[in-house]
Structure 1
Amino acid sequence: MKKRIAGLLLLSLAACDALPRDPDRTSDRLRQSRILRVGINGEPVAPQAQSLVAELAEHNDARVSIRRAALEPLIVDLNAGRLDLILAPMAKDSPWRKLVAPGPALSIEGAGKQRIEWRALMKNGENRWIMQVERLSRQVSGARS
């Protein structure tokens, strides 16, 4: 009985090797194509957001392809897999937050209802990619919560 339990534990640990996962394979696509597809909404782009893109490109040995547009079409493209990341200023009560996975604040401008936070936005569920972006976001962030 103890051998069975030990065997099951070993099998379950081996299965954890591929976690976290990207169901839509964002990390794998980026690694294969070596193109980081970034949507940008807003001007001027926060310096920390620019630093994040540079860090992600370097970390993934990728070149950057940028598309500037309004937030709604960028989110449509992100969720359709045509973008890997969006950089945008967002208000705390933005309705767009429910459609994406927002990373940590890269920079904060204003206070109260006027508070705007530059964030990296990722496709929900792409957990391996989200973890990488969040880790690098914290490294380049100039934001104080």
Structure 2
Amino acid sequence: MTGNGRGVIAVALIGLALAGCDVPADPEHTTEHVRGQALIVGVTTDDEPSDPDERAAIQRLAKRLDATVEYRRDEIHHQVKALEEGEIHLLAGHLPKTTPFAKEVGTTGPVSSMLLGDKRVKTVFALRKGENGFLMETEKAIGGAN
């Protein structure tokens, strides 16, 4: 086989490999539901997260998705249930990285930190499990990407 023939085969193989790579999926279409609409954020204490890093990340996420932000306050167990059922898109506000709810929900990388007892721990956002496209958008917003 000539060098040119091998090049054509290599390009074809790369094309096939890339065809198998999809953008992260949202089985429940969270990103699609938020884009151009409202980002519904559950909080448990204040009317919005008191942490400035969390508020800024939420605003960046809303900007990325051309959405407004709507906060809903309720008790943590109700918020986790609302998240699982798709009634809210994100749970924010001093949620420790070691949250016991991590089995029921997906979590982001660290957003900020808080004191838990006498220890400083990292905080995360919670989102619906399996919504990897929305997780990717949220992680970009946490990192400061616009």
Same fold (TM over 0.5): yes
- Aligned counterpart for 1:36 among listed residues 35, 39, 47: 39
Q: d(CA) in 1 for partners of 2:86 and 2:136?
A: 18
Residue 123 of structure 1 is matched in structure 2 by 128
Which whole-Å deviations, capped at 9, do the CAs of 1:33-90 have from their partners, x for residues lacking one? 5111111123462111111111111111111111011111111111101111110323
- Aligned counterpart for 2:15 among listed residues 10, 13, 21: 10
Equivalenced residue count is 138
Which whole-Å deviations, capped at 9, do the CAs of 1:3-53 have from their partners, x for residues lacking one? 99976763552342x42100001011112x511111112346211111111
Q: d(CA) in 1 for partners of 2:97 and 2:90?
A: 19
Q: Cα distance 1:91–1:103, how it changes in 2: closer, same or farther (>3 A)?
A: same
TM-score by length of 1: 0.78
Q: Unpaired segments of 5 or more residues in structure 1?
A: 141-145
Structure 1 stretches of at least 4 aligned residues deviating more than 6 Å after TM superposition: 3-6
Residue 19 of structure 1 is matched in structure 2 by 23
Say whether the 8 Å CA contact 2:97–2:123 is kept in structure 1.
no
Root-mean-square deviation (CA), in Å?
A: 2.7
Amino acid corresponding to residue 38 of structure 2 in structure 1: I
Q: d(CA) in 1 for partners of 2:96 and 2:37?
A: 32
Residue 100 of structure 1 is matched in structure 2 by 105
Say whether the 8 Å CA contact 1:90–1:116 is kept in structure 2.
no
TM-score by length of 2: 0.77
Answer 1 or 2: which has greater helix percent.
1
* SS at 1:118 equivalent: strand
Say whether the 8 Å CA contact 1:78–1:85 is kept in structure 2.
yes
Q: Cα distance 1:111–1:45, how it changes in 2: closer, same or farther (>3 A)?
A: closer
Q: Which structure has the larger Rg over C-alpha atoms?
A: 2
Q: Does structure 1 residue 79 correspond to structure 2 residue 99?
A: no
Q: d(CA) in 1 for partners of 2:96 and 2:132?
A: 24
Residue 5 of structure 2 is matched in structure 1 by none
Amino acid corresponding to residue 75 of structure 1 in structure 2: V
Amino acid corresponding to residue 22 of structure 1 in structure 2: D
Q: Unpaired segments of 5 or more residues in structure 2?
A: 1-7
